[in-house]
Each structure stands twice: as C-alpha cells, then as structure tokens.
Structure 1
Amino acid sequence: MRKALIVFNLCSICFLAVNCSSKNDENKAPSVVQLEFPTKDLLCIDHTIPFNWSDATDLENDVIEYNIIIAKDRELTDVVENRTVSASELTVILEKSTAYYWQVKAIDVDNNQESNSEVFSFYTKGDGVTNYAPFMADLQMPENNGNVAAGTVNLVWEASDIDAADTLTYELFFGEDATLTSIDNTLTVKSYIVSVLSGKTYSWQVNVTDNAGAKSIGQVFTFTVD
C-alpha cells in the first residue's frame, strides 16, 4: 500500500510539473507597436507618406512581421492599403485632400500570434484647399457590439479637425436595431444620455460638421442591453 502511495505521489508531481511547464511555455503575442509617423491628426504636406512605427519585441524571439492597414474610415473597412512587411516602415502614395486612418499589427509568424496598435488618423493636403472636413467621430462608449445595463446609457465620442480654429457641431442618430433616427443635429458637447430597455439592441452614429459646412459621416456602432 505504501509503495502504491509513493508511486501515485510521484505521478502527481510529474503531472503538475508538466502542466506548470506547459503553462509557462505558452506562447505570448508580440508587443504592441507605437505608431510614429504620420502622427495622430497630422496634416501631411505631401501625399507620398513614409509610414514608420516602433519595432515589436517577442519573448520567445520568434520571427515578427508587420501588417499595415490604411483605410478611409476609422473601422478600417474601406481599405486602400493592406500589406505585410518585415521592416517597421513603408512608403505609400495616397490621394490628396483625403482623411485616412491607419493601424499596424505585429505578427508572431512562428506561432500565429498578433497584437494591434492604436488607430491614428491623418489628412493629406490638397491643391489650394483652405478648409478640411473634420475627422470621423471616434465613438468611445459604449463599445461596439458591447453589453450595457438597462436604464440610461451615456453615449460618448471624440472628434477633431485639422483646422484647429473650426467650431464643430454633432448630429446624433440613435434607434433600435438598425433603425436610426436623428436625435439632435446641433450638439456642441461630445456626449448624450439615452434611455434603454433590457433585451433590446440599439445602434448609434455621430456625424461631425465644421463651421464652414464640411461634414464627415460617422460609423455605426451597436450595443445590447442585458
């Protein structure tokens, strides 16, 4: 009996050692890169843009590649460039007088792990342009496809404009499911409280207009009420 207990204990120790080892050996995703150029909300004088970002690190010293996505919307769905490179830089020729959004994903090639950077916006300068449309609203709370408690929800967004002296106003759309209704088109604050019911799904959108009448159409976010 004693011999059997010893064998059992040894097996248990070996199992725990292997289990702990497997947890310690779990592959980690590479570090998140920092976007360096174009900087956030930059007005680029030239439309030939030398994108660059910091190098990622990997705890296992796996090979790292970088996937850069450049799009015309903050959700990165209207993509104009999607490339995977081994260096932390890439030069791209883009359209003039256009707002762009970009992100870099560091990819652990050996173990298929990845990490996303922030999304930065920038504007390419046009010929003879004196006023630029504001950037798309950055919807912050609630998160897209997130869950909230019933009662009241504070819709929160951010917005910016290359023309720093411009005054921005916001048009808020809100409604159940995919049905959006204009709530207010003269908002000057970047938040709005709405009432929501349990079990419902809601959508919302914010358009941004500057004092010259230039408008950017916002993305649509949805959330569900518990």
Structure 2
Amino acid sequence: MIKTIALVFFMTFLFSCSGGSDSPAPEENKAPEKVETLTYPTNNLLCIDNTLDFQWGASSDPNGDAITYTLEIATKSDFSDVESHTSTTTTKTVTLEKGKAYHWRVQAKDSKDLSSEYSSVYQFYTEGIGVVNHLPFSPELIAPENDSNTSDASIDLKWDASDVDDDALTYDVYFDTVNPPVSMMGDNQSEKEINVSLTVTTTYYWKVVVNDGNGGEAIGPVWSFETN
C-alpha cells in the first residue's frame, strides 16, 4: 500500500513538472508593416509654404503592438543629413527652410522596438521669396546598386533626376578609382546613363552633377561598386 501511494505521488509530481509541455509557445514578435502611402507633400511638389503638414498612410502590427512613426527629412537623396521627427499619429507638422529641395520617408516602429522597412521616398521643394529658378533635385541612383559587386567588363551607370520648373536637364558624370571621383566621363549630356569599361578587382566611385541650363546645379552623392 505504501509503495502504491509513493508511486502515485511520484507520477503526480512528474506530471506537474512537465505540464508546461502542453502550454502554447510564446507568440513571435514581428515588425510592423511598411508604410505604403505618402499622402502629403506629394512627389515633386513645389510647396507654397515652408511649414508643412506631413501625412502618410497607417501601418499595422501583426502582434497588435502600439506603433510610432519616424519621419525622416533630408536635403540629400541618401539621407546622410537626415532630420528625424517622431509621431504617434500619421501626421507631423514641420517648419523647413525656404527655397530648398527636400526628400522624405517614414518608418514604423512597434512598442518592442522592431522597425518596418522604410517607405518609398518622395521629394519636394519649399518655395522661396522672389525665387524665379529652382535648383534641380539631387540625382537618384538607378544602377548599379550602391556598394555592389560585378564581374562584367563594362557596365551602364544609370540615374534619374527631375526639376520643379521642368527645365531641360543635362548631366556631368564623374567616374574614378579615387573618392571623391575627379575624372569626368560624361560632359553636359542629356541621357541619364553612360557606359564605362571596368578592370577586375577594382573599387570604382562615381557621382552625377545635374544642371538645369539656368544656373541651377545639384551635386549628387558619391556612389561606389567593386569588380570581381
């Protein structure tokens, strides 16, 4: 009888210690969804004021966590001079300098510090006092991807650029093995691409200067890639 009681006690103890095996696994925390819509200022907009109500679409979180948004504004397309603002709603009022070109994007973050991918990037211009001609927007990289690798003997450098005044744009392309690049490969060209020959196991640097024909100039960031 004593042995029977001891055995029942042991089985009860064993079951209580291992009872957690039936408990559901903790839910994996996932990052919020990417902000898909930038509402205002719209892309390539010439704003009539320099105090702007930035607006974007809401993100959602798979775990139902609270979301905050980081609004990033920069004058450079690579956001190396970024100015950040936090908001718990999908709008933020910011006062900027007059007569300047800006880029903006939004990132969502949940209460556990997981962040979404960045939204797409929009660019706009704040109207200056008595401004007749506006500078072009900084050029945007199309190809090759920055800091990428290639085995090709030649490659097409591609970019994009725009201007709120709809001026006809031309481009000076600098391509070199030193940073910053000083050798000009394209001079005052209208095409948004240029083919360059490559050497193996070399790091190349390049940038584009955008001219609007009215004295306006935008110098792009330095991009780079390597050959195998």
User: Can you list the C-alpha shifts for 1:170-214, whole angstroms capped at 9, x where unaligned?
Assistant: 000001142511112211000011111221111110010002121
Aligned to 1:54: 57
Structure 1 residue aligned with 2:133, among 102, 113, 131? 131
Q: Classify 1:82/1:189 alpha carbon distance in 2 versus 1 (closer, same or farther; 3 Å).
A: same
Q: Sequence identity of aligned pairs in percent?
A: 39
What CA distance in whole angstroms lies between the structure 2 residues aligned with 1:122 and 1:109? 31
Alignment gaps of 5+ in structure 2: 1-20
Aligned to 1:158: 160
State the AA in 2 paired with 1:89.
Answer: T
State the AA in 2 paired with 1:174.
Answer: F
Aligned to 1:168: 169
Q: Where is the strand percentage greater, Structure 1 or Structure 2? A: 1
The residue correspondences of 1:39-188 to structure 2 (distance < 5 A) are 39-79=42-82, 81-164=83-166, 166-180=167-181, 181-188=183-190
What CA distance in whole angstroms lies between the structure 2 residues aligned with 1:216 and 1:134? 6
The TM-score with structure 2 as length reference comes to 0.84
Aligned-residue CA RMSD in angstroms?
A: 1.8
State the AA in 1 paired with 2:201.
Answer: G
Contact 1:205–1:220 (CA<8 Å) still a contact in 2? yes
Alignment gaps of 5+ in structure 1: 1-16
The residue correspondences of 1:22-37 to structure 2 (distance < 5 A) are 25-33=27-35, 34-37=37-40
What CA distance in whole angstroms lies between the structure 1 residues aligned with 2:171 and 2:106? 29
What CA distance in whole angstroms lies between the structure 2 residues aligned with 1:147 and 1:177? 17
Q: Which runs of 4+ in 1 moved over 3 A?
A: none
Deviates more, 1:172-181 or 1:95-104: 172-181
Q: Which of 1 and 2 has greater Rg?
A: 2
State the AA in 2 paired with 1:178.
Answer: N
